[in-house]
């Protein structure tokens, strides 16, 4: 699978239920290869493997993923922490079987670069900040998608 990394989480650790007293590490990212299709990728493993893999690329890089495990996603659980994708699947990376290689989008496919700034949600499914201010009471308690731009960071 070849795609552009459009999102990435930080490395996290969790207590390993099978090996009490040890930690398992994970991080996930989202790749896109067309305006319509993108998929979440998750990796679990030893700290050294996960940190090394996470540091090997960043958002905006093109990656080639070899030998991922394809797994049905559990929509409610998975999409709490990752973008909602049009696919019913996710990719899992295994330290022993999977390989992630980075390359320049110019070397791979320059059309991938244009995908970096496309929203992952339907353009009709957003509220502007003005809409939220004007209709705040009627929106109370609802989960909303917000479309906004950062004007300054200080």
**What domains can be seen in the chain, in order of their start residue?**
2-114 (2.40.50.140)
Asked whether the predicted pLDDT for residue 42 surpasses 80, the reply is yes
Q: Return the number of other C-beta atoms located less than 10 Å from residue 11's C-beta.
A: 15
State residue 141's pLDDT score. Answer: 80
State residue 146's pLDDT score. Answer: 80
Q: Which two tokens stand for residue 8?
A: 């990435």
State residue 78's pLDDT score. Answer: 61
Give the pLDDT band of residue 109 (cuts 50, 70, 90): low
Kindly report which listed range (8-12, 22-26, 79-83, 138-142) carries the lowest average pLDDT score. 79-83
CA distances from 21 to 18, 47, 139 (A): 9, 14, 45
d(CA 42, CA 44): 7
Asked whether the predicted pLDDT for residue 130 surpasses 70, the reply is yes
Asked whether the predicted pLDDT for residue 88 surpasses 70, the reply is yes
The predicted model gives 26-49 an average pLDDT of: 91
Only one residue has tokens 């007293």, namely 21
State whether residue 83 is helix, strand or coil. coil
Q: Which two tokens stand for residue 124?
A: 């009709």
Q: Could you tell me how many residues make up the chain?
A: 154
What does pLDDT average to over the chain?
84
CA distances from 12 to 24, 28, 45, 51, 145 (A): 8, 10, 11, 10, 25
């Amino acid at each position: 699978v070849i795609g552009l990394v459009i999102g990435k989480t930080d490395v996290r650790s969790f207590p390993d239920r099978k090996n009490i007293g040890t930690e398992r590490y994970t991080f996930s990212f989202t790749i896109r290869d067309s305006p319509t299709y993108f998929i979440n990728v998750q990796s679990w493993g030893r700290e050294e493997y996960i940190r090394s893999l996470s540091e090997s690329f960043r958002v905006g890089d093109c990656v080639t993923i070899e030998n991922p495990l394809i797994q049905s996603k559990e929509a409610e659980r998975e999409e709490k922490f990752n973008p909602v994708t049009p696919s019913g699947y996710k990719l899992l990376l295994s330290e022993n079987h999977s390989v992630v290689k980075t390359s320049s989008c110019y070397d791979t496919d320059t059309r991938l670069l244009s995908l970096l700034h496309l929203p992952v949600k339907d353009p009709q499914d957003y509220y502007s900040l003005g809409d939220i201010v004007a209709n705040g009471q009627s929106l109370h308690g609802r989960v909303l998608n917000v479309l906004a731009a950062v004007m300054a960071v200080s």
